[in-house]
Amino acid sequence: MCVKMMFVCRRIGLETGGKPVAIFNRKDAEDMGIRGLSRVKITYREKCVTAIVNLSEKMIPVGCVGISEEVVKKLKIKDGAKVNVEVAKFPSSLEYIKKKIKGRKLSYEEIFEIVKDVVEGNLTDMEIASFVIALETRGLDIEEAANMSLAMVETGEKLELRKKKIVDKHSIGGAIGDKTSLVAVPIIAAAGLTIPKTSSRAITSAAGTADRAEVLMPVELDVEEMREVVEKTNGCLIWGGALHLAPADDVFIQVEYPLSIDPLLLPSIMAKKKAVGSKFLVIDIPTGRGTKVKTIGDATLLAKDFMMIGKKLGMKVECAITEGENPIGRSIGPALEAKEALEVIMNRQNVPELVDKACHLAGILMEMVGMKNGYKKALRILKKGKAEKKLREIIEAQGGDPQILPEDIKIGKYWTDFVADRDGYILWMNGPNLVRIARAAGAPKYKGSGVLLFKKVGDRVKKGEPIFRAFSEHSRKLRDVKKLFEEELIVGIGDRREMLISHVKEEVEHKKTFILER
């Protein structure tokens, strides 16, 4: 028999991460036969919502139900209104999660139900975590990954464009100071291709593409605003988090990050590209020490998986395995990287690795749609100033200042140098520790904070000479930076043929680097 009771609503002024939550006095809960994390259906004026149950001894009086802001929004209800509450069944998606925990393959319909319930807030954090952990331990085959991508697309918004050759690029992350998109996207758009580039903010790095682009222009546009920019300029540089494209991924990331796992790397990337209508996609896979993918062999296997999923989704996918051990350019941090990219696109300075990578990725996309000599064409667009012109068009269309110059970009006014303790050559740089220093200085939250390299691997250095400078917008943060200077192995200096990297004299704490950027 279904238990149904009338309750008076109490707005508790609490947002619960997208999940509709109802809080009951324990006595009422006992009368209804419900407990914490049970589900109830709340009905108000023919509108209803399923909410997750929480319990309270004193916070909620008998006869009342506390409702989260998510419930208020869905029911459009006022404080003190009366609602009908009845016990609801647990979501069927829980049975499918249990199925995956047991190692069984899921169908598209089962995956869709799970993703839909994640987006609608019908699953608790514990239930979502169980699913993510099951994916990590049991794995997804290619068909499941493709179905996961489709489910993510169908439960979010989509971008519809009146364009034919829609292309895109994406990096799986891990390369230090990778401001490639700021150069490659204008090149691609200037070549006549359409590239609706959505990007992430930094999660574990010093700057995501959206953080860098935001130094030059607003990036929090909605789908309609994004469409207008792309229709006008052929390209954009937008923060994907404001678009509700594949919104389930934002929920999954909250579980993946603290656990240092990333089982949804492939489907989440492909979902977001499918959602903007991409037909041709190049995936950048940075490879080497300090990146997600350590060897060329592993990178090749990952590339194969991306291409197979792309085929199932009706997309042509090619992959670029790129060098990821050393910083790209000399800047790490949003403002420093945006400034360096702007200087390169204006042909004010040459950063060989940045130019080479941007032109290779742009060139691959050009050749995928039938153009010849893609790399040379991309380089010519850059050198003739067409990429700069296109970038300024995009900046203006997104609400930025199209006349912005590198010297207009503000860098943190507080700084400290890391200097060489001996003569020699830079044998290696610890990329993850450089990122830690940039983040300790305040990046990416404070965009003017970061690291500027004076020397790179292979350069000669003299004792006392600065190797890099850490900038911060707040002087107090430099204390944390200097502490890292003392505690961490950051740079190796020695003879060109020196074989000893480090001498470990005592047990040290191992700090595993986890990179989660989508």
Residue 502 has a pLDDT of 67
Tell me: cis bond preceding 258? Omega within 30 of 0 counts: no
Q: Which residues of 426-459 are buried (b: 16+ CB within 10 A; e: fewer)?
A: bbbbbbbbbbbbbbbbbbbebbbbbbbbebeeee
Residue with tokens 């020695």: 494
pLDDT tens per residue across span 301-341: 999 999 999 999 999 999 999 999 899 999 999 999 999 99
Average pLDDT on 478-497 reads 91
The C-alpha atoms of residue 244 and residue 446 are separated, in whole angstroms, by 25
Please count the helices (runs of H) and the strands (runs of E) in the chain.
18, 18
Average pLDDT, the chain: 94
| Active-site residue, selected from the candidate residues 28, 249, 262, 284 | 262
Residue 516, CA distances (Å) to 169, 219, 385, 430 in order: 17, 20, 34, 18
pLDDT in tens, 80-94: 999 999 999 899 999
Average pLDDT over residues 236-244: 91
With left for phi above 0 and alpha for psi between -120 and 50, is residue 422 left, alpha or beta?
Answer: beta
DSSP β-ladder status, 167-171 and 280-287 = parallel
427's tokens: 């044998």
Distances (CA, A) of 213 to 76, 207, 223, 315, 454: 37, 10, 18, 27, 24
381 SS3 class: helix
Query: Is 408 among the residues known to form the active site?
Result: no
pLDDT band of 482, cuts 50, 70, 90: very high
Above 60 in pLDDT, residue 357? yes
DSSP for 178-192, written as a single string: --HHHHHHHHHHHTT
pLDDT the model gives residue 1 = 47
pLDDT at 19 over 70: yes
> For residues 183 and 344, is the Cβ–Cβ distance under 8 A?
yes
Q: Does pTM top 0.75 for this prediction?
A: yes
Cα 270 from chain centre: 13
pLDDT value, residue 501: 67
SS3 of residue 446 by DSSP? coil
pLDDT at 497: 64
